């Protein structure tokens, strides 16, 4: 844009801010103790709000960090104050022998909590191994309770039965808490919000409704089918009283509620209607070794090159903390704030 106008939703140029000595914190005083690690950009589903149906240009094998490289990064960041990691993707269970990575991360004394985000399609066959390897907690994406809708949203017919088997296996091997992530879309699943919420009366599940976020490839869905979390909560309040409660664990972006006497909770994640960046505690590591201070925007630091040359990464981690932006700049109907991202599968969501 040569006119001097600011592009709608475009993030401002990065500025470096001084960061405190001591455990990792950014230039706005936010303690950063949590890393989301994407282990692959590939996925066995094609959720309509995430990945284009034809897929994306995949990373080449040699571009992807090995488990040993991921361990080295987490170990060094652990010495700087990292305490929790989440394994994500793409779909993390499509990467071979994921429990081997979990075992490596478990050996790092600084890491107190290891969780996994999955679509659960392959979970039934891996739940036991993952639990034994040391995964503490699971987030499962589930956008509908109706098989035909799961097929339509995921664009991979037949996945529903596998996902339900995966959830059953997760409960059987003792994962707790289990969080369900549901991206709410008008005309696709917004009429199931009450059914999802009712599950929390009987099962110790934490159902989180997520507002769909715009990326380069999803504007028709993220704009045309957007449902604000306030509307979701109104629907749920119409079937029962909701009280604000503390979340199941960790200081995530969700705000939680519960029905009186319920064993689970209902949460909303509101990236579009209510910005929660002031409590952001995380950074992201992409499958090809880029450390991102924010989910959105184009800021990232290459760790892979220096790591493969045997250089320390702590100065690069500090640099990334110094440029961590105050907030995201997403605007509904525009891809500008997503900073060139085509899909959240590229960075792990
Ligand atoms: N494949 C795994 C899964 O689906 O759980 C992990 C990766 S996925 C990118 C992580 C989370 O991001 C999922 O809960 C998914 O629903 C969410 N997600 C993906 N694209 C999104 C979007 N455009 N807006 C909101 N949430 C999105
Ligand atoms: Fe795959 Fe997860 Fe994206 Fe769905 S949300 S396409 S399961 S990466």
Per-residue pLDDT tens over the stretch 270-288: 999 988 899 999 999 999 9
Neighbours of 51 (CB within 10 A): 26
Mean pLDDT for the stretch of residues 132-140? 96
CA-CA-CA-CA torsion sign (308, 311, 314, 319):
negative
- The CB of 39 under 6 Å from ligand 2? The reply is no
Is residue 72 within 8 A of residue 310, CB to CB? The reply is no
DSSP 118: E
- The CB of 213 under 6 Å from ligand 1? The reply is yes
What count of residues does the chain have? 349
Closest ligand 2 atom to Cα of 345:
8
CA distance 160 to 145: 9
Residue partners of 272: CB distance under 8 A and separation at least 6? 211, 212, 213, 226, 228, 330, 332
Which residue range is the domain that position 321 belongs to? 34-346
Asked, for residue 56, whether it belongs to a domain, the answer is yes
**Band of the pLDDT at 171, cuts 50, 70, 90?**
very high
Q: What is the pTM (predicted TM-score) of this model?
A: 0.95
**Band of the pLDDT at 251, cuts 50, 70, 90?**
low
């250089």: which residue's tokens?
311
Return the structure tokens found at 157: 């017919």
- Kindly report the average pLDDT of the chain as a whole number: 93
Peptide bond preceding 116: is omega within 30 degrees of 0, i.e. cis? no
CA distance 235 to 244: 16
Cα of 122 from ligand 2 centre, angstroms: 13
Asked, for residue 199, whether it belongs to a domain, the answer is yes
| Segment holding 101, helix H or strand E | helix 98-106
Closest by alpha carbon to 60, among 284, 285, 288? 288
Asked, for residue 4, whether it belongs to a domain, the answer is no
Query: Which range among 81-85, 322-326, 328-332 has the greatest average pLDDT?
Result: 81-85
Asked, for residue 13, whether it belongs to a domain, the answer is no
* Lowest model confidence (mean pLDDT) among 6-20, 91-105, 202-216: 6-20
Range list of H helices, 139-297: 147-154, 159-172, 193-202, 219-224, 229-237
Which ligand neighbours the alpha carbon of 37 most closely? Answer: 1
CA distance 266 to 258: 6
Domain total for the chain?
1
Mean pLDDT for the stretch of residues 52-71? 97
Closest by alpha carbon to 14, among 300, 286, 208? 300
Asked, for residue 22, whether it belongs to a domain, the answer is no
**Band of the pLDDT at 341, cuts 50, 70, 90?**
confident
**Residue 11 pLDDT:** 63
**Residue 44 pLDDT:** 97
Mean pLDDT for the stretch of residues 249-272? 91
DSSP character string of 88-99: ESS-GGGSTTHH
Mean pLDDT for the stretch of residues 243-268? 90
**Residue 331 pLDDT:** 86
Is residue 37 classed as helix, strand or coil in its secondary structure?
A: strand
Return the structure tokens found at 251: 């200081």
Asked, for residue 23, whether it belongs to a domain, the answer is no
Return the structure tokens found at 229: 């979390």
Return the structure tokens found at 124: 């039934």
**Band of the pLDDT at 250, cuts 50, 70, 90?**
low
| Segment holding 256, helix H or strand E | strand 255-258
**Residue 207 pLDDT:** 98
Cα of 47 from ligand 2 centre, angstroms: 6
Quick one: what percent of the chain has pLDDT higher than 90? 83
Cα of 278 from ligand 1 centre, angstroms: 21
Please tell me which residue, 216 or 232, carries the higher pLDDT value: 232
| Segment holding 317, helix H or strand E | helix 314-322
Is residue 18 within 8 A of residue 10, CB to CB? The reply is no
Is residue 27 within 8 A of residue 324, CB to CB? The reply is yes
**Band of the pLDDT at 336, cuts 50, 70, 90?**
confident
Return the structure tokens found at 226: 């957007």
Beta-strand pair 301-302/282-285: unpaired
If one residue of 40, 166, 183, 282 were mutated to test the ligand 1 pocket, choosing by the most ligand atoms within 8 A of its CB, it would be 183
Cα of 136 from ligand 1 centre, angstroms: 20
Asked, for residue 7, whether it belongs to a domain, the answer is no
Is residue 100 within 8 A of residue 132, CB to CB? The reply is no
Residue 1 has pLDDT above 50, yes or no: no
CATH assignment of the domain containing 251: 3.20.20.70
Residue 4 has pLDDT above 50, yes or no: no
- Report phi then psi at 277, rounded to 5: -60, -25
Cα of 152 from ligand 2 centre, angstroms: 13
Neighbours of 262 (CB within 10 A): 22
- The CB of 46 under 6 Å from ligand 2? The reply is yes
Asked, for residue 46, whether it belongs to a domain, the answer is yes
Residue 5 has pLDDT above 60, yes or no: no
CA-CA-CA-CA torsion sign (67, 69, 75, 78):
negative
């Amino acid at each position: 844009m040569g006119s001097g106008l600011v592009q709608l939703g475009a993030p401002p140029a990065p500025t470096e801010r001084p960061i405190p000595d001591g455990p990792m914190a950014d230039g706005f005083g936010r303690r950063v103790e949590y890393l989301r690690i994407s282990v692959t950009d590939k996925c066995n589903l094609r959720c309509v709000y995430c990945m284009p149906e034809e897929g994306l240009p995949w990373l080449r094998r040699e571009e992807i960090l090995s488990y040993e490289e991921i361990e080295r990064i987490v170990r060094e960041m652990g010495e700087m104050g990292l305490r929790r990691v989440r394994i994500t993707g793409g779909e993390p269970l499509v990467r071979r022998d994921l429990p081997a990575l979990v075992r490596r991360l478990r050996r790092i004394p600084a890491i107190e909590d290891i969780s996994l985000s999955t679509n659960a399609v392959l979970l039934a066959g891996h739940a036991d191994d993952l639990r034994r390897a040391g995964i503490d907690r699971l987030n499962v994406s589930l956008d509908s309770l109706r098989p035909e809708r799961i097929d339509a949203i995921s664009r991979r017919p037949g996945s529903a039965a596998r996902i339900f088997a995966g959830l059953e296996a997760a409960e059987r091997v003792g994962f707790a808490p289990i969080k369900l992530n549901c991206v709410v879309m008008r005309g696709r699943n917004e009429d199931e919000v009450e059914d999802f919420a009712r599950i929390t009366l009987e099962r110790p599940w934490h159902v989180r409704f997520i507002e769909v976020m715009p990326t380069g490839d999803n504007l028709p869905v993220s704009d045309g089918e957007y449902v604000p979390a306030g509307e979701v909560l109104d629907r749920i309040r119409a079937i029962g009283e909701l009280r604000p409660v503390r979340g199941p664990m960790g200081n995530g972006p969700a705000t939680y509620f519960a029905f009186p006497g319920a064993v689970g909770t209902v949460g909303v994640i509101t990236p579009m209607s209510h910005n929660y960046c002031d409590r952001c505690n995380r950074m992201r590591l992409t499958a090809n070794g880029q450390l991102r201070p924010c989910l959105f925007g184009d800021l990232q630091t290459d760790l892979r090159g220096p790591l493969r040359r045997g250089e320390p990464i702590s100065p690069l981690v500090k640099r990334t903390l110094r440029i961590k932006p105050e907030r995201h700049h997403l605007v509904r109907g525009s891809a500008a704030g997503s900073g060139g991202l085509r899909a959240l599968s590229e960075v792990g969501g």
